[in-house]
Structure 1
Amino acid sequence: MHSVIAHHFWDRPGGGELVMASIAHAMARSGYQPVLTSLSDFEPRKYLDWFGIDISSYPRISMGIKLRSFGLYMRLLVWYPVKIALRRYSPGIIFIDSPTYKPLINDLRRKNIKLFEYIHFPLDLSFRRKYASLGYYYTEDQYMAERYTRFPLNVYAWLYSKLFDKFARENPFQVSTAVLTNSHWTASIIRMAFNEDPIVLNPPLPPNSPITSNNKSFNERRPYVVMVGRYAEEKRYHWVLENIVPKLIKEVPQARVVIMGSAGTSTSESYYNYLVKTALRSGLRVGTSASHILNANVILMKNVPRREMINLLDESRVFLHATINEHWGIAVAEAMARGLPVVVHKSGGAWSDLALNGEVGLGYEGVDEAVNALAKLMTDSRAWSNYSMKSLDRVRDITFDKFIDKLAELVRKIL
């Protein structure tokens, strides 16, 4: 029997793509041949480079849409290639990670197809006015507001909110066989909206981000604070450059902040250029490659090869995550796998499920709290060793193989 793994845009190395590729492997292991559906064309072989996951043998249906800058709008049509898959493969299971599948519901019920919805974050709260009082509407939630409250993206988001209701299902618990999500933080948000609890299934570490077996000690590492993630405003790199770095280098003069991000769109390129100007305006010395580290306060690196990224993680002392209300935080998990203590904002899944509300990593809300946490881990070898060990212990429970086993067992129990 076939299973459909429906995702709107497979052609980037993001957390959603990692989860859906991992789900495809779990379905294959459970005896359900995966069929990948997408609005855009994508090259499966890239997944070996990005994550170490081979999805090249799975059939795929793509609509060939190339609106890379309109990824949010592509979600509205995620159901369309699934319709084609229903006719071509007669699947018994569908996994989907967008709520915009209303046009599928009658077919699913008529054919008794089991639907599993994986919620990275409930977009209902972001784009439906009736949930605005919960505080996560796109104009209020800091994760969304960083990106969608200024022209022209404010218009982009406003129009999307008008179209959302035409394609989105109402309550996922009323139409799906099971509702899954990435963290206990996201689960609490889902419960606020729908008054039911989803199943928490943390995303896995990618197979090509192994847990280090040779963790470098405090003294073997350099006084680098490292950040990883695409160049996008919600990552708040600008906040770090304006507020954190100037104070941190006063506390720890030898400190360096290394940011490694992907920049594959005109929007991300524009943000990257803005960051360079912001750093210079803040009086910081700026470099753009690892060779500049000794002579700069901040290194802004684009599209770093994975091997080089892992080497820099292994050389650094602390990982900083600046996003507010991050739903999960795969970059945080990857850093922990290299033995790095982490400093994250006291919100989102990175805080609840990776830092375990302060048990495993340090958290902050304001600038001074963040700087103090970074300075402590950069200068106190005993504290560093404690949190380094805790990072490694935590990520041993979210390996790729454990994710596959957990999901396969879940499907067996439900079906």
Structure 2
Amino acid sequence: MKATLVIHRVAKSVSGEGYVVRVTAELFKEKRVETTISTFSPPLEDLGFPYISVIPFKLRRFDKYQRVFTYFSAKRTNPDFFFNVTALPLPLSNIAKHIVYGVAPEFSSVPSKYSTSAIWKAYLFPLRGLLNKFKEEAKRAIFLANSKYSSEAVKEIYGVEPSVVYPPVDIRDFLRAYHEIGDPFFVTIGRFEPGKRLDLAVQLSAMTGIKGIIVGSMEHEGYMRKLVKMSKRLNANVEFLPNLKRDSLIQIMSRASVYFHPTPGEHFGIPIVEAMASGLVPIVPKESGGYEIVPEFSYSNLDEASEMLKNNMNADGSVRRELKERSLKFDKEIFKEKIWNIISSI
């Protein structure tokens, strides 16, 4: 069996998309699938398979358009099936069976940075010109969504209703951090960029007087400086830890009591499950895929979030144990089994 794994770039990243790619590559090795990686630029991490790229050098900008142009490397392959993790239904079904693993499309009504800024709307404008092509391909491909929330958005834009396969979460290290009595602080995890709305975590600390620790990769230094200024102005008790190593993150998770997820419109939310595995009570936006995971701990506004935070700092051990058990449903082996069943069926 031959496969082409389509991904716009393979980076040394801790992102959810990156982990989906790694686990899928791991699955294909285990099943002895002859695999080619199709990318826009050369991989920064060796997944153990040969690759074809569109350009011979790394390019960080224009992420969404890199995904589109990955089509030109993918069409140079001749597999039995494509496994496409760009989230875009590229026109590949005329070559081979095409599985698209996707999140909510940027043009949907799901809240995101692309819907709140005129600059970002202009950035997406040329991509909208391909919408009819994407709709045609979505009807021919096998479309999978990473949550029910994403599935509804895919249906809204492409007119198809994808099956839901939740992404794999690397929970095993976080299970080592499991505890039932934590210190009086909350953790927030997210890239330091405006779209992640980390400013809401700063406001939450100021409203409640409870310490917050914000962890994430540094993407936008100007936004980080803005958060620091906001924290001082509001007299919030917040510690910022950009680019923290995984072991240090796990140590922090082993002491915290609550996890606060600030990003409305998040398609799923990997850190939510990592927090559950660690014994933290996750507080998540109702307007997100996280609501599917912990509907009983969801909020519509910061007033609700602040009450939830104060009420769950000392949550009972039975609550934390149940959340840990729920996190096990997102283990990578379950993802692999579901994906292989789908591949086998076609």
TM-score exceeds 0.5: yes
Among 377, 386, 394, the alignment partner of 2:312 is 377
Q: CA deviation at 1:228?
A: 0.9
> Radius of gyration: which is bigger?
1
Q: In the alignment, which residue of structure 1 is the partner of 2:277?
A: 337
Q: Distance in 2 between matches of 1:302 and 1:388?
A: 27
Q: In the alignment, which residue of structure 2 is the partner of 1:75?
A: 67
Q: In the alignment, which residue of structure 1 is the partner of 2:151?
A: 187
Residue identity opposite 1:300 in structure 2? F
Q: CA deviation at 1:195?
A: 4.6
Q: Distance in 1 between matches of 2:36 and 2:200?
A: 41
Q: Distance in 2 between matches of 1:172 and 1:328?
A: 24
Residue identity opposite 2:178 in structure 1? N
Contact 1:100/1:164, CA 8 A, preserved across alignment:
no
- For the pair 1:247 / 2:238, whether they are aligned, the reply is no
Q: CA deviation at 1:212?
A: 1.7
Contact 2:104/2:150, CA 8 A, preserved across alignment:
yes
- The number of equivalent residue pairs is 343
Q: In the alignment, which residue of structure 2 is the partner of 1:273?
A: 225
Alignment of 1:208-227 (within 5 A): 209-212=172-175, 215-218=178-181, 221-227=182-188
Residue identity opposite 2:188 in structure 1? M
Judged with a 3 Å threshold, the aligned counterparts in structure 2 of structure 1 residues 214 and 325 are, in CA distance, closer, same or farther, namely closer
Residue identity opposite 2:140 in structure 1? V
Q: In the alignment, which residue of structure 2 is the partner of 1:351?
A: 291
Contact 1:19/1:204, CA 8 A, preserved across alignment:
yes
Judged with a 3 Å threshold, the aligned counterparts in structure 2 of structure 1 residues 236 and 99 are, in CA distance, closer, same or farther, namely closer
Deviations 1:170-226 (A, max 9, x none): 2444221x110101121222233445421111011126x4352573222xx211100
Q: In the alignment, which residue of structure 1 is the partner of 2:111?
A: 142
Q: Distance in 2 between matches of 1:391 and 1:155?
A: 40
Judged with a 3 Å threshold, the aligned counterparts in structure 2 of structure 1 residues 193 and 101 are, in CA distance, closer, same or farther, namely closer
Contact 1:343/1:364, CA 8 A, preserved across alignment:
yes
SS in 2 for 1:311: helix
Gap runs ≥5 in structure 2: none
Alignment of 1:82-231 (within 5 A): 82-84=74-76, 86=77, 90-98=78-86, 100=88, 102=90, 104-105=91-92, 108-109=93-94, 111=95, 113-123=96-106, 125-126=107-108, 136=109, 141-145=110-114, 149=117, 154-166=118-130, 168-176=133-141, 178-206=142-170, 209-212=172-175, 215-218=178-181, 221-231=182-192
Judged with a 3 Å threshold, the aligned counterparts in structure 2 of structure 1 residues 42 and 343 are, in CA distance, closer, same or farther, namely same
Q: Distance in 1 between matches of 2:254 and 2:87?
A: 38
- For the pair 1:7 / 2:13, whether they are aligned, the reply is no
Q: Distance in 2 between matches of 1:321 and 1:306?
A: 18
Contact 2:2/2:81, CA 8 A, preserved across alignment:
yes
Among 260, 268, 283, the alignment partner of 1:320 is 260
Question: When the two structures are superposed, what TM-score results if normalisation uses the length of structure 2?
Answer: 0.91
Q: Distance in 2 between matches of 1:115 and 1:323?
A: 31
Q: Distance in 2 between matches of 1:381 and 1:21?
A: 35
SS in 2 for 1:98: coil
C-alpha RMSD of matched pairs (Å) = 2.2
Gap runs ≥5 in structure 1: 46-54, 127-135, 250-254, 285-296
Q: CA deviation at 1:122?
A: 2.4
- For the pair 1:234 / 2:235, whether they are aligned, the reply is no
> Which range moves more in the overlay, 34-43 or 322-331?
34-43
Q: Distance in 1 between matches of 2:300 and 2:247?
A: 32
- For the pair 1:259 / 2:197, whether they are aligned, the reply is no
Q: CA deviation at 1:78?
A: 1.8
Q: In the alignment, which residue of structure 2 is the partner of 1:61?
A: 52
Q: In the alignment, which residue of structure 1 is the partner of 2:244?
A: 304
- For the pair 1:44 / 2:45, whether they are aligned, the reply is yes
Q: Distance in 2 between matches of 1:38 and 1:334?
A: 29
Question: When the two structures are superposed, what TM-score results if normalisation uses the length of structure 1?
Answer: 0.77
Q: Distance in 2 between matches of 1:163 and 1:199?
A: 25
Judged with a 3 Å threshold, the aligned counterparts in structure 2 of structure 1 residues 165 and 98 are, in CA distance, closer, same or farther, namely farther
* Greater helix fraction, Structure 1 or Structure 2: 1
